Structure 1
């Protein structure tokens, strides 16, 4: 069954996007294409370069894809661009991801708003989906969030990140970290404007997630001289 997600995708607007966002997305796509690490990026590539705002969900009864897209338009229209402050490669457990190197308050607020705004479109997880999440391994707070929002890493448990790898074995970590440092050296330290949110779609279970639609934030009009 089809699933949808609301993601932050730097560079989603193509030529209309910020140069820093386009460079970051290009570096990520080059990273995903590296043959020597493809076994360590299979999951990351399937979900696509992104940071999760609203985790993947099936549509609730009585909701439609067209309604979800309209809701994304309305959501974006009420927001302003935010900044991913100086993203840098970090380890998140055994994964590697790009994480902000500065203030995260605006991007955290955007994610919290998305969790709430799109929740009416989310079908409750099935017993099988719940079991795959391993609620027995969650903290009490994560379990509470999962039961309310369908995902444990939201609100106060949220950490903005742009995933780059699947779990990295300890014996390959040094090589992977060196390769990531090299790959992202040209974009390290630069603030990256986020000018939109994107709806992604997984057409069928196990299929790659695809960009369904991009929803730009309004931008202040350039002053006329």
Structure 2
């Protein structure tokens, strides 16, 4: 499965990917075109994010796709996990929005999630975090507009990525089968689908303050 940076690279962009996990960077670089750059960054750290953007020339487009959050109800999710999820998903986006230097005509795109539109009793924090990211996006769209910078979000549902390998092959297929039965499109979101939505937002000069749903109709059901 291709990741967003792969699709963007294939459209002629010079791509710099970042993660706090070196192994993930190394695996991604094996799939990406030569010339792709990489950097270890933990977006939970305000200083790391600030130092990274201070060391780089301005960007045309910045995309924040990843975060680390745990599922669970408000009553049952341990507070340390809840705090870490907030640090990763919301504050990571906040730090990037605060520090990213973007050229006029460029864009910043966040990835939120369908639980912002359709809360789930077993992922209450994730829904709240996705909603806060979208609220941050809309505010930044106004704040950065005078600089000629657009800000948007892509909101996916369950996506066919290695994340679900933790369930084992049988568990993963059971999960995907149940989602296909439920969703109006009867399919699972592919990483390419998210990538093309990000590319659309990055290249469409009329798109700002927008949340694009890439969820196979999950928000409807």
**TMscore range, shorter length:** under 0.3
Q: Which structure features the higher share of helix residues?
A: 2
Tell which has more relative contact order, 1 or 2 (C-alpha 8 A, sep 6+).
Answer: 1
TM-score, length basis structure 2: 0.26
Q: Which structure features the higher share of strand residues?
A: 1
